[in-house]
């Protein structure tokens, strides 16, 4: 009888231990699967980002005209604009809005210039720091540490969405659409949910824009705000 009680006690103890051990084993397996999943996601994100970087690097530069449609967060159309865009690697941007209002954005590689002829004002920013709120600079080439501030998603073989990881960024997303190697559309989404859709036309990527296009001379008599 005593032997039976001892055996029964051992069995109960084993069952009690297994009750604790089984969830631990399950949790350990779940944790391992979670780590593996996270690793796979990070590897996939890195591969997509690398693919976009290679696609952008393959195009040394281009010029085009554009039509811009501005849509507010409620889906209302609030403005149509037209202008010219030129990009040249590394870090050169020429972005001129012609109508309904004239504005000019120029990056000479070091300084990002904003010029509003109507109010006769020029603002200057360090180009490296300006990319957070001027994501078009992503098209002209960035260092790896700057790309680290963004996540890149891919919706189909020719469309990518660049998402800012900076909580304070005024521009949250930049969506790019390619036809082969040519960028044909991009959409900017700001912190308010406003969308700016740009359709590029008359794209010229075989002949690079002249370096002179990206030189900005400060006009006389303007109000100059130097933020560099």
Contacts of 54 (CB under 8 A, 6+ apart): none
Cα distance between residue 82 and residue 200, in whole Å:
10
pLDDT of residue 5: 44
pLDDT tens for the 228 residues of the chain, in order: 544 444 555 444 544 444 555 666 666 666 555 555 555 556 678 899 989 988 888 888 899 999 999 999 999 999 999 999 999 988 899 999 999 999 999 999 899 999 999 999 999 999 877 777 777 777 787 667 778 888 999 988 899 999 999 888 888 999 999 998 889 999 999 999 999 999 999 999 889 999 999 999 999 999 999 999
Q: What is the DSSP string of 169-217?
A: -SEEEEEEEEETTEEEEEEEEETTS-EEEEEEEEEE-SSPPPGGGG---
H or E segment and range at residue 46: helix 2-58
Count Cβ atoms within 10 A of the Cβ of residue 180 and give its class: 0-12 exposed, 13-18 middle, 19 or more buried: exposed
Cis peptide bond prior to 208, omega within 30° of 0: no
Residue 59 pLDDT: 80
Which are the contacts of 213, defined by CB distance < 8 A and separation ≥ 6? 86, 94
The secondary structure element, H or E, covering residue 164 is strand 159-164
pLDDT at res. 131: 74
Homologous superfamily (CATH) for 57-226? Lipoprotein localisation LolA/LolB/LppX (2.50.20.10)
Instruction: Give domain limits for the chain.
Output: 57-226
| Dist CA 97 CA 200 (whole Å) | 13
What is the spatial distance between Cα 92 and Cα 141, in angstroms, rounded to a whole number?
A: 9
Token couple for 226: 């130097």
């Amino acid at each position: 009888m005593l032997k039976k009680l001892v055996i029964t006690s051992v069995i109960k103890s084993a069952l009690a231990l297994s009750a604790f051990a089984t969830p631990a084993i399950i949790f350990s397996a779940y944790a391992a699967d979670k780590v593996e999943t996270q690793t796979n996601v990070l590897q996939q994100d890195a591969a997509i980002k690398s693919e976009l970087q290679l696609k952008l690097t393959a195009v040394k530069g281009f010029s085009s005209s554009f039509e811009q449609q501005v849509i507010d967060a409620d889906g209302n159309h609030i403005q149509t604009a037209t202008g010219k865009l030129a990009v040249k690697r590394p870090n050169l941007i020429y972005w001129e809005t012609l109508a309904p209002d004239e504005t000019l954005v120029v990056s000479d590689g070091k300084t990002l210039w904003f010029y509003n002829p109507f109010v006769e004002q020029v603002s200057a920013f360090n180009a490296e720091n300006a990319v957070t709120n001027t994501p078009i600079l992503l098209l002209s080439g960035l260092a790896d540490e700057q790309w680290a501030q963004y996540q890149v998603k891919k919706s189909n073989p020719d469309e990518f969405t660049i998402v800012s990881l900076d909580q304070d960024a005024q521009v949250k997303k930049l969506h790019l659409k390619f036809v082969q190697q040519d960028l044909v559309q991009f959409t900017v989404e700001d912190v308010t949910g406003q969308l700016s859709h740009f359709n590029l036309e008359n794209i010229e990527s075989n002949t690079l824009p002249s370096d002179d296009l990206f030189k900005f001379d400060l006009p006389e008599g303007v109000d100059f705000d130097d933020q560099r």
